[in-house]
Structure 1
Amino acid sequence: MPKNAITLNNGVEMPAIGLGVFQTPPDVTTAAVEEALRLGYRHIDTAAAYANEREVGEGLRRSGIARDDVFVETKVWISDYGYDATLHAFDKSAGKLGLDRLDLFILHQALPSAFDRTLDAYRALEKLLADGKVRAIGVSNFMPEHLDRLLAETSVVPAVNQIELHPYFQQTALQRVHAQHGIVTQAWSPIGGITSYREAAKSTFDDPTLLGIARLHGRSAAQVMLRWHLQKGRSVIPKSTKPARIAENFDVFGFELTTEQLDAIDALDTGVRGGPEPDSITLEAYGRDIPEA
């Protein structure tokens, strides 16, 4: 396992930086995964709802990297919540990926409007963990109140909560809850790409504080943001389909941010979420069929 590994609360090691493939079209996903693995990535993050698990699996096979040397993470979509449905969701994801076992299997959303189904889905993850079909389980986009109920009504503490987290949206209260329970904070949109999609909004890539720190280190703003996450002990899954960007995002181990620089980035938090509000996720609004393997 690479030197940049994070040890999860069940002792499993997970590379701190991985390639994300959210919104990566299937026809370019295989090449992106293959290139990332060639460059040294050993962690790939996908999801049933991304509709590219099959292509991720093909990239893994084409890379020639031994299966046990790559940490593969995927997510169950809300349409497949419920005990039996979630057990079958594993079969669908594993089948598309071409794998017998997943390294990390997580619930994609809390689904607050049907939290009993969420709990049943998580109990299915616990079963998969007990049966050795997954090495670790976790959640994504869970807020403190969701974690409180999950912890009260299930047995296994999530290894990871994957959340929107970048300099402009840091969710510090949620991160404190993670720390209290030994849950790794995993950042999606870790370099604030989501801030670039909003009209008239500031983008992290143009932020003068980040650009100033980047100049001092001879790095890009993206590399500074990823380094900030890593020094704070977080997992990151930046996404790109461009080989040069994939390489740049992985080249973040040859420099160190000072305490003052870390504090300056911490001070950029606006508290403004870029993605959907977790409580807005309902089956009526976001439900979709996840195809069979």
Structure 2
Amino acid sequence: MFRILDCQPRRLVRLKTFLKPSFASQNGRSQSSESQPMMRMNSGCDMPMIGIGTWKMTPCQALDAVRCAIGFGYRHIDCAHVYQNEREVGQAMQDKIADGTVCREQLFVTGKLWNTYHGCYEVVKQGLEKSLCDLKLSYLDLFLIHWPFGFENGCELFPKSPDGELALKKDIHFTNVWKSMELLVHERLVRNIGVSNFNSTQIDQLLQVATIPPAVNQVECHPYLNQVCLSTFCRERGIQLVAYSPLGSPGYENRTSPGPIDDPVVKCIANNHKKTPAQILIRYQIQRGHAVIPKSVNAERICQNFNVFDFCLMEHEMNQLLGLEKGKQGRVVQYTDACAHPEYPFKELLSEGAE
């Protein structure tokens, strides 16, 4: 079922060696970060296939984790205004630039337009400028529409209507927001634009109006939610899939049962390769041709999550992981508070018996 990508993936992926800063290993000896595959996006720009996710990090955790990640060789930093830690992420990047570990051009920084900034061009630009200010940057490498639906504009991240429900904005369609995103590219405030949490129908709608096609679609993706159809759909249209929550969001409040990182199949494969379950889940995404943004605030695990380029999963192992699919029951990030919006992307969650 899978064509196994070798340890130097071809076609969409090319290897590029970053600067190799030294770091201390567990036994105190100096090691160097490994090169990692780079994904060529439809814009012609390269994106590192593995990045550090910053969702669910406190500000202090984000400061330490991003410093640590850059020191270990990560060059892809995934951020969002709604995470409420972009100031600390920005400070961490500035610290590693100041100490000579990296220069700005070696970092690939992703930001996301939050739902309260859906509106005219000035409103969209305001959302970007807020992130640029907090991150202490003059441009982003990638800027995504975080969700295909908007909230009423204002200072609150999750504005409420008079009846206490989430104040959804239904008069601005994401295709209109996209036209403003394209203007940000022309102004050279962002190098690439894309989407997050969009389904295939919504991407098709976007492509009908886009003069700049989305470079990526960032979605939840792990063995319990493999996104096979969406992955194929995006690939056929030259859109790169970026897997968030590749470990299945362990500890997330919506998870009521063990996730894939605790699955016996994953643990068995990890034992066979003498790797951690997290390394297996990350490598799984890379061999599927997906970029991946695991999150950790633990220095040892941040290092381990990056060291996934020295082994390959066998075809039967890839198929075992694919076979863990749970359909809609596997989705952790559901955001059902916004299900009344006509562009809520996970309609299958609202249909009894749908898979």
Give yes or no for TM over 0.5.
Answer: yes
Q: Is the 8 A contact 1:141 1:162 kept in 2?
A: yes
Distance 1:122 1:282, change over 3 A: farther
Distance 1:198 1:97, change over 3 A: closer
How far 1:198 sits from its partner (Å)? 5.0
How do 1:179-198 and structure 2 match up within 5 A? 179-194=235-250, 197-198=253-254
Secondary structure of 2:212's counterpart equals coil
Q: Is the 8 A contact 2:182 2:212 kept in 1?
A: yes
1:110 corresponds, among 148, 152, 168, to: 148
Secondary structure of 1:241's counterpart equals coil
- Specify which structure has the higher proportion of helix: 1
Residue 236 of structure 1 aligns with an amino acid whose one-letter code is V
How far 1:163 sits from its partner (Å)? 0.3
1:238 corresponds, among 249, 269, 294, to: 294
Residue 176 of structure 1 aligns with an amino acid whose one-letter code is T
Residue 93 of structure 1 aligns with an amino acid whose one-letter code is S
Secondary structure of 1:149's counterpart equals helix
CA distance in 1, matches of 2:44, 2:174: 25
Instruction: Provide the residue aligned with 1:136 in structure 2.
Output: 192
If you compute each CA radius of gyration, which structure gives the higher value, 1 or 2? 2
CA distance in 2, matches of 1:221, 1:196: 18
1:72 corresponds, among 88, 102, 109, to: 109
Instruction: Provide the residue aligned with 1:53 in structure 2.
Output: 86
Q: Percent identity?
A: 35
Distance 1:192 1:67, change over 3 A: same
How far 1:151 sits from its partner (Å)? 1.1
My pick for the range that moved more, 193-202 or 267-276, is 193-202
Instruction: Provide the residue aligned with 2:75 in structure 1.
Output: 42
Is residue 55 of structure 2 the alignment partner of residue 18 of structure 1? no
How far 1:117 sits from its partner (Å)? 3.6
How far 1:196 sits from its partner (Å)? 6.1
If asked which structure has higher relative contact order (CA below 8 Å, sep 6+), I would say 1
Is residue 290 of structure 2 the alignment partner of residue 267 of structure 1? no
* TM-score, normalization by structure 1: 0.91
CA distance in 1, matches of 2:251, 2:333: 9
Distance 1:280 1:230, change over 3 A: same
Secondary structure of 1:225's counterpart equals helix
Instruction: Provide the residue aligned with 1:92 in structure 2.
Output: 130
| Aligned alpha-carbon RMSD (Å) | 2.0
CA distance in 2, matches of 1:191, 1:70: 24
